[in-house]
Every structure is written in C-alpha cells, then in structure tokens.
Amino acid sequence: MKVALDIDGVVADFVSPFVQILEARSGGAIDLESVTDPNFTNYPFLSSELIKQCVMEVSDDPQFWRGLAPLPSLVEWQCLDLLSRAERLIFVTHRYERDHYSIHDVTCEWLREHGVSKPVVYFTQSAKSALVDKLGVKLFVDDRHENCQDVAENTEATVLMPHRSYNQSFEHPRVTRIQDLHALTTYLG
C-alpha cells in the first residue's frame, strides 16, 4: 500500500516561523492558537498582497526550509522510515520550485536528516488528487482541508487529516481527523 504525506503542517512546522515573518512584515500580532484559517484571511492587518510577498520571501530562501522544526516524535519518524525503506512512502507538496536553488534537494536533505532513508518528493502546483490518482496512492495525509477534500472526492484513497487549530471546523464524511501520525499504523495494511 502506497502512502502519501504532505510535508508542511504534517511533518514540518511551517506555520510557527511563517507567522513570525507575517508579524515582522505587518507589525501585527498573531496568536498561533487563534489561527483558524491556513490562508490567514481573518486578520485586518494582513492584506492578500502582503501574505503573497511573505510566501515568495520564504520560497526564495533555502535557509527557511532547512530550519523548520520536525513535528513527528522519534517513534513516528521510525515508522515513516520503515515505509520509506519498503518504498511505500512518498511526499506530495505545494512548495514552490525556484530557479536559484533546488527546493527538491533541500527538502530531501531535511527528510534524510530526520531519518527518512529514501525520501521521494513530488512537487505540484495543481490539485494533489491528480498525483495521488496517477501514483496509485491508497493512504493520503494532509493538514489543509482543501487538499483533503480534493483527494477524498476525486480519488479512492483513504484521507487522514492531522488535527490543527486552522482545520478544526472542517468535517467531511470521507476525511478522518487524527491526533498524530501514530494513528497511521491503524490504516497500514
């Protein structure tokens, strides 16, 4: 059974350092626990233009991605590594690819550093369901409810969504909310 994981918000803590950049560039204060929308649309001091600029700023900076803190526990990383060694694990991300450095290399190095022996990462700017379908993924994990909904409605994959403050209000009959990646073991056939 092939498993596909999102990276940011699932195995890498993207939101905390990104919120720091949003605060620094806007001068406004954002309480992490109060983030109920992953697109930050409900803060009056954050224009969509400023958010876009901050996204481009971090996308241009390999150090930003290298410095992200891991979210899984050691035991969870070991479970991911077993899947990786068995060539059952892939990562699917919407991270932007830029010309002046390889986000693919930076991402694979980061995953190896945390114990994933054979990282396989797909970058797409399209709906993730297309890749999930094409690659025959049976289990999909993502923290953004838009991606979970897309894959649940357009593929046969089982969809798991780790609980986060910014996805707490989302419910879907084909999306299962999990507390952490340990829950994955229940679904692995």
Interface residues for Mg ion in 95-154 (CB under 5 A)? 143-144
Q: Which is nearer to Mg ion, 87 or 97 (CB)?
A: 97
**Cα separation of 54 and 138, whole Å?**
34
Q: Which of 4, 5, 8, 76 contacts Mg ion by CB under 5 A? A: 8
Q: Which is nearer to Mg ion, 114 or 144 (CB)?
A: 144
Count the alpha carbons within 13 Å of 104 in the hemisphere toward its beta carbon: 9
Q: Which is nearer to Mg ion, 128 or 138 (CB)?
A: 128
Are the beta carbons of 184 and 162 closer than 8 angstroms?
A: no
**Cα separation of 69 and 150, whole Å?**
27
Q: Which residue is nearest to Mg ion (CB)?
A: 9
**Cα separation of 129 and 65, whole Å?**
24
Q: Which residues contact 127 (CB under 8 A, 6 or more apart)?
A: 150, 154
Q: Which is nearer to Mg ion, 87 or 180 (CB)?
A: 180
Q: Which of 3, 4, 5, 6 contacts Mg ion by CB under 5 A? A: 6
Q: What is the closest distance, in whole angstroms, from the C-beta atom of residue 38 to Mg ion in the complex?
A: 8
Q: What is the closest distance, in whole angstroms, from the C-beta atom of residue 151 to Mg ion in the complex?
A: 12
Q: Which is nearer to Mg ion, 38 or 62 (CB)?
A: 38
Taking Cα atoms as reference points, which of 134, 157, 133, 156 lies closest to residue 142?
157
Q: Which of 5, 9, 26, 83 contacts Mg ion by CB under 5 A? A: 9
Q: What is the closest distance, in whole angstroms, from the C-beta atom of residue 91 to Mg ion in the complex?
A: 11
162 near Mg ion, judged by CB under 5 A: no
**Cα separation of 121 and 57, whole Å?**
22
* Residue carrying structure tokens 């025959």: 136
User: In the complex, which residues of this chain contact Mg ion (CB under 5 A)?
Assistant: 6, 8-9, 143-144
